[in-house]
Amino acid sequence: MQVTLDGTQDVHDGRRYLKGKQPTFDKIVEGIDACLAAGININLRMVIDKENIENLAVLSLFAIDKGWTSSPLFKTQIGRNYDLHFCNSTPEKLFDRATLYQHLYELLKLHPYISVFYKPAFSITKHISEHQELPMALFESCPACKTEWAFDFTGKIYSCTATVGNNGDELGTFYPVVTKNKTAIESWQNRDITTIEKCKTCDVALACGGGCASVAKNKNGHPNSPDCRPIKELLSLGVAYYLK
């Protein structure tokens, strides 16, 4: 079960509220407690930008004190606010991927206990540190139309949650009748670093996997194109943090 907390109570409730600005923090915390007690896996996601990143340390302490981090059913993920289909009204608060992880690195050095709550992968460096070997080669990093599909309330089918509701990204319908745009679906399913021209000559392609197909489609007009990740920058941070 994936749930989102964007920080501790004041921070989260100021960002993610119901109609009339009714708070959601306490209900989410209650739900996490109930899931863990019932043996249900929890993936807690914190979506970060420049407005709430400093709250990561406090949220980490909250999760530790709740006992969540000691449960084998509990894991965490850091998300990043970014422009996708529409321009963000406050672009100045957004991180690019490399700058976000530079900030995470600095926070981890300042507050080491954050690592009890969240350990960044820094590309493949965390895996190397924990397993003393390289991970499997990453030929594709986008699950769209492979292990992920998305369905909206109008009866339309999409490749992933990032494309839901975006005109032109519909891949078929599930209601009132089932239809599939096989050509469009295949353009997502056949995408990997062996079909993306730029990836064929990239020296970090096997650690990147071509990135997000939705972002690539927005930038380049079609999914079979690259969404280049700052792999070398992430590796440098990871080596400094994990491979002392």
Domains and CATH numbers, the chain: 2-120 (3.30.750), 143-189 (no CATH)
Mean pLDDT of the chain, nearest integer: 95
Q: In which band, very low, low, confident or very high, does the pLDDT at 64 lie, cut at 50, 70 and 90?
A: very high
Burial of 105-119, coded b for 16+ CB within 10 Å and e otherwise, reads bebbeeeeebeebbb
Cα distances from 59 to residues 53, 79, 110, 119, 151, in angstroms, run 10, 15, 15, 14, 32
Indicate the DSSP class of residue 136.
P
Cβ neighbours, 10 Å, residue 225: 21
pLDDT of residue 45: 97
Contact predicate 125/101, CB 8 Å:
no
The first and second tokens of residue 172, run together, are 């078929």
HSE-CB for 66 with a 13 A CA cutoff = 21
Percent of the chain predicted with pLDDT > 70: 98
Give me the phi and psi of 80, to 5 degrees please.
Answer: -130, 125
Q: Which residue from 21, 22, 17 is spatially nearest to 7, judged by alpha carbons?
A: 17
Amino acid at 75: K
Lowest-confidence segment of 23-32, 76-85, 97-106 by average pLDDT: 76-85
Residue 83 reports pLDDT greater than 90: no
Question: pLDDT digit string (tens) for 139-164?
Answer: 999 999 999 999 999 999 999 989 99
Paired with 172 in beta bridges are: 157, 180
Cα distances from 10 to residues 14, 52, 233, in angstroms, run 6, 11, 33
Distance CA 89, CA 51 (A): 14
The first and second tokens of residue 133, run together, are 């070997």
Distance CA 197, CA 134 (A): 25
Region for residue 210 given its phi and psi (left: phi exceeds 0; alpha: psi -120 to 50; beta: otherwise): left
Lowest-confidence segment of 86-100, 142-156, 203-217 by average pLDDT: 86-100
The first and second tokens of residue 113, run together, are 């206990």
Paired with 148 in beta bridges are: 144
Distance CA 36, CA 68 (A): 8
Contact predicate 141/211, CB 8 Å:
yes
